[in-house]
Structure 1
Amino acid sequence: MSSLNASFSQNVSIVHPKYFFIVGLSGIPYSSYYYIFLFMIYFITVIGNSIVLLIIAFERSLHSPKYIGVFNLALADIGETNALIPNMMNNFLFDSQYISFNACLANMFFVFLFSSMQSVTLVVLAYDRFIAICLPLRYHALVNNTSMVLVFSAVWAFNFSIVALMVSLITRLSFCESNVIQSYFCDHGPVFRLACNDNSINKIIAFLVSALYLVAPLIIIFLSYMGIFLALIKITTWQGRLKALRTCFSHLFLVGIYFLPICCSYIAAILVSLTPNARVISTSLAYAVPPMLNPIIYVLKTAEIKDIIQKMLKNKSAIHHNND
C-alpha cells in the first residue's frame, strides 16, 4: 500500500505545461529575410523531391535496389522538411510562438524520425555501392528489390521504436519553472533541459541517439569506402577505376552535404562559444539545406534520371509542336 501511495505522489508531482514557447528565431536581426529564404528552401525541397519520387515510381527502368534507396531518401527529405519549416513559417506569419505540449512531442517525433531515416538511408546506399564494386558477381544475389524493401521496412520500424522511446521519456519530466524553448522547433535537448526533476535518462538516450545516427553511420560509410578504394586499386585500367568510382559520386555528395553541416555546427558549438542566434541559424540550415540539395544532385549527377527528364522534356516539346 505504501508503494502505491509513493507511486501516486510521484505521478502527481509531474507537471506538464499547457504550452511551450519556441523563441529560437525571435531574436535574429532581419529575421523576415531569413524566413523568406526558408520558404524558398521549402518550396524547392518539396517540388524537387516530389519530382524524384514520381519519376522513380512511374519509370519501370528505375525499379532497382539503388533507386529504392533514393526513393526512401526523397521521402525522408520531404517528411523532415514538412516537420520543420511549416511550423517555423507559422511562427513568422501569425506571430504564434506557442505550441501545445502534445503538439511539441509530435513535432519532435517526426523531425527525428525523418532525420534518422536520412542518416540510415545513406548507410544502406553505401552498402549498395560496396557490394556493387567489391562483390559484383554476388550483387544480384545479395542486393535485390525484395531485400531492399525488407531492409527499409526493418529500418523504419527500428527508427520508429527508438524515436518513440526518446520522445515518450519526455512525458516523465516535470516542467515547473520555464516553458521557453531556445530553439527553432521542439528540439529534444532544449526541451529536456527545462525539466526540474531528474533528466539523466534523457541525457543518456540523447547521447545514444547521437552516436547511433551520426557517429555510427559515418564510421560505417567510411569503412565501406575504404573497401571500395581497395577494390578500385585492383582494377588495372584508369578507365575502369573511374567508371566504377563515378557510380559513387552522387552518394559521396549526399553524404557530404548531410553530415558535414551537422558535424560542423556541433563542433563549432563545442569549440567556439556561439551566440544563441548563430547556433540556431547554423543548426537550422544544417537540417534544412541538405533535403533541398539531394534531388538536385541526383538529377545532375545520375545519368538515368537525367536521361529520363530529357526524354520527358523532348516528348512534351514534340507534342506541343505537333499541336501547333
Structure 2
Amino acid sequence: MEGRNQSGISEFMLLGLSEDPEQQRLLFFLFLFMYLITGLGNLLIMMAIISDPHLHTPMYFFLSNLSLVDICFTSTTIPKMLNNHIFKNRTIPFAGCLTQVFFFIWFAGIDSILLTAMAYDRYVAICAPLHYSTVMTPRVCALLVLVSWSWACANSLTHTVLLTRLSFCGHNEIPHFFCDLSPLLKLACSDMFINDLMVYTVGALTTILPFIGILISYAHIFMAVMKISSVSGKQKVFSTCGSHLTVVCLFYGTIIGVYFSPTSTHTAQQDTAATVMYTVVTPMLNPFIYSLRNKDMKGALRMLITRKLRFILGEISLFSS
C-alpha cells in the first residue's frame, strides 16, 4: 500500500515498550512466547472444529473464523517488533507504517463484528431455540462473516487514506511497538477534523455499535435465563455464554478506553498497556477461554491431539524399522 504525506517524512521511529536493554530482551522472549502460543492455540481450535463433524455448527463456525482473524491480528504487529529487536533497527517506512495501520484496523474491526455475530447466535439459540435452525442457516452465517470482513475493510481503508492527507512535522518518533492510528494522529501538525470525525463516526460503527448490539443480545438472554426455574439450566446457559462474555469484556474494554475516551484522561504508557491487552493478550487467551470451559471443544481437541500423536508415533516406528 503506497502512502504519501505532505511533510516529506519518509519513515517513523518505533520506540517500543522500553529503552532498557535488559527489559527489551525480556520483552522479546515474552512476546515471542505469546505469539507462538497464540498461533498454536488458535490453529488447534481451527483444526479441531474442522475435523469434528459435531462442531460444524454456527457457534463454532464463528469461533473458527475468530481464531483465524486472531492469528492474522497478532501477525500484523508482533513479527515487526521481533524483527526490530533482532536487527536493532526501529525505523519503519511511511508506506510500511500505513500498511500496518490498515491491516491492524481491518483485523480489529473483523474481531469486533464477529464477536457481535457470536452474541446474536447465542441470543437466537437461547431466546428462540425452536427457530434456531431456520434463522442461523449456513447462508446467514456465511453472510455475517462476509459482512464483517467487508465492512471492517472499508472502515480501515477510510482511516488509512485519510492519514495520507496529513502533514507530519517535528519529531517522527512513535511511542509504541507498532504503527497505530492514535499515536500517528498525535504526530500530525495539520488539521485533523475529518480524521477525528471519521474515528468517532465510521470507527464507532465498527466498535461502539457492535458493542451495543452485544449488550442488547445479552440483556434478552439474561431475561430469558431468569425465567428458567432449574438451577442446572441457568448454570448451563451461563457456562455457554461465560467464555464469550469474558472475551468481549477484555476486547471492548481496552479498545474503548484507548480510542473513545478523552486523551487528557490517560497517558501514552496507559494507552500502550491497554493496546497490548487487546492486541496480544486477548488473542492468546481466546483458545484457552473457549476450550477450557467447553466440553465439546475439549473433547475435539483431545481427539485431534491423540490422532496426531498416533500418526507421528506410527511414522517413527516405520522409519526405525
The bucket for the TM-score relative to the shorter chain is 0.7 to 0.9
Give the Cα separation in 1 of the matches to 2:266 and 2:239. 40
Residue 86 of structure 2 corresponds to which residue in structure 1? 93
Alignment of structure 1 residues 1-324 onto 2, 5 Å: 14-27=6-19, 30-263=23-256, 274=267, 276-315=268-307
81-90 or 49-58: bigger deviation = 49-58
Residue 9 of structure 1 corresponds to which residue in structure 2? none
Which segments of 5 or more consecutive residues in structure 2 lack a partner in the other structure? none
Deviation of 1:76 after TM superposition, in Å, equals: 1.1
Spell out, residue by residue over 1:113-164, the C-alpha distance to the aligned partner (whole angstroms, 9 max, x if none): 1111111111110000000000111111111222100111022111101110
Give the Cα separation in 1 of the matches to 2:90 and 2:79. 13
Deviation of 1:211 after TM superposition, in Å, equals: 2.5
Q: Is the 8 A contact 2:109 2:148 kept in 1?
A: no
Q: Could you say if the C-alpha distance between residues 137 and 201 of structure 1 is closer, same or farther in structure 2, counting changes exceeding 3 Å?
A: same
Q: Is the 8 A contact 1:173 1:195 kept in 2?
A: yes
Q: Is the 8 A contact 1:258 1:290 kept in 2?
A: yes
RMSD of aligned Cα (Å)? 2.7
Give the Cα separation in 1 of the matches to 2:310 and 2:90. 51
Spell out, residue by residue over 1:8-39, the C-alpha distance to the aligned partner (whole angstroms, 9 max, x if none): xxxx9923421111114243572221222111
2:247 maps to amino acid: L
State the percentage of identical aligned residues: 33
Q: Could you say if the C-alpha distance between residues 189 and 268 of structure 1 is closer, same or farther in structure 2, counting changes exceeding 3 Å?
A: closer
TM-score under structure 2 length normalisation: 0.87
Q: SS of 2:178's equivalent?
A: coil
Larger radius of gyration: 1
Q: Could you say if the C-alpha distance between residues 14 and 287 of structure 1 is closer, same or farther in structure 2, counting changes exceeding 3 Å?
A: same
Give the Cα separation in 1 of the matches to 2:203 and 2:87. 33
Q: Is the 8 A contact 2:14 2:175 kept in 1?
A: yes
TM-score under structure 1 length normalisation: 0.87
Q: Could you say if the C-alpha distance between residues 51 and 185 of structure 1 is closer, same or farther in structure 2, counting changes exceeding 3 Å?
A: same
Aligned residues: 312
Q: Could you say if the C-alpha distance between residues 273 and 224 of structure 1 is closer, same or farther in structure 2, counting changes exceeding 3 Å?
A: closer
Q: SS of 1:193's equivalent?
A: helix
Give the Cα separation in 2 of the matches to 1:265 and 1:36. 26
1:287 maps to amino acid: T
1:104 maps to amino acid: C
Q: Is the 8 A contact 1:262 1:287 kept in 2?
A: no
Q: Is the 8 A contact 1:193 1:199 kept in 2?
A: no
Deviation of 1:261 after TM superposition, in Å, equals: 4.0
Q: SS of 2:70's equivalent?
A: helix
